[in-house]
């Protein structure tokens, strides 16, 4: 079973920051938080991952709460091309390489 809970859908205006929440209250100390997205009819795309510290790359920022029970993916300036299903996944290296996918959040960017 998925270890994460995400809202099923969200809207965001083009050019604004999209903030996607994820709850992972049962996360273990050795589990990382990964974010992927899947644009319609394409393969999933890796976005970012982190363990304890906040992370930023060219695509997004990942904010992890101090107790690590939740996180937020931030797309700083959303564009129409960011419309996709966003998956938050927690994973440990001893998990037999399994990514346990939840239902994800359908993010719709509106002009």
Task: Tell whether residue 3 is a contact of other proteins (CB under 8 A).
Answer: no
Among 26, 30, 54, 79, binds other proteins (CB under 8 A): 30
Nearest distance from C-beta of residue 92 to other proteins, angstroms: 8
Instruction: Give dist(CA 18, CA 77) in Å, integer.
Output: 7
**Burial environment of residue 108 by CB neighbours within 10 A (0 to 12, 13 to 18, 19 or more):** middle
Neighbours of 93 (CB within 10 A): 9
Query: Which residues inside 64-103 make contact with other proteins, applying CB under 8 A?
Result: 87, 93, 96-99, 101-103
Residues 32-51 as x/- pattern, contact with other proteins by CB under 8 A: x-x------xxxxxx--x-x
Nearest distance from C-beta of residue 78 to other proteins, angstroms: 22
Instruction: Give dist(CA 80, CA 14) in Å, integer.
Output: 6
Beta carbon nearer to other proteins, 25 or 95: 95
Instruction: Give dist(CA 63, CA 50) in Å, integer.
Output: 9
Q: Enter the tokens of residue 98.
A: 């399994």
Residues facing residue 104 across a β-bridge:
none
Beta carbon nearer to other proteins, 63 or 101: 101
- Positions touching other proteins (CB under 8 A) are 30, 32, 34, 41-46, 49, 51, 87, 93, 96-99, 101-104
């Amino acid at each position: 079973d998925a270890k994460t809970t995400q809202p099923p859908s969200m809207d965001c205006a083009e050019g604004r920051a999209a903030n996607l929440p994820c709850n992972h209250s049962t996360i273990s100390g050795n589990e990382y938080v990964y974010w992927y997205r899947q644009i319609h009819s394409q393969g999933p795309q890796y976005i970012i991952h982190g363990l304890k510290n906040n992370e930023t790359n060219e695509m997004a920022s990942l904010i992890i709460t101090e107790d690590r029970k939740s996180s937020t993916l931030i797309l700083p300036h959303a564009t129409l091309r960011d419309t996709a299903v966003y998956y938050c996944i927690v994973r440990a290296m001893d998990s037999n390489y399994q990514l346990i996918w939840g239902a994800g959040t359908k993010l719709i960017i509106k002009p």
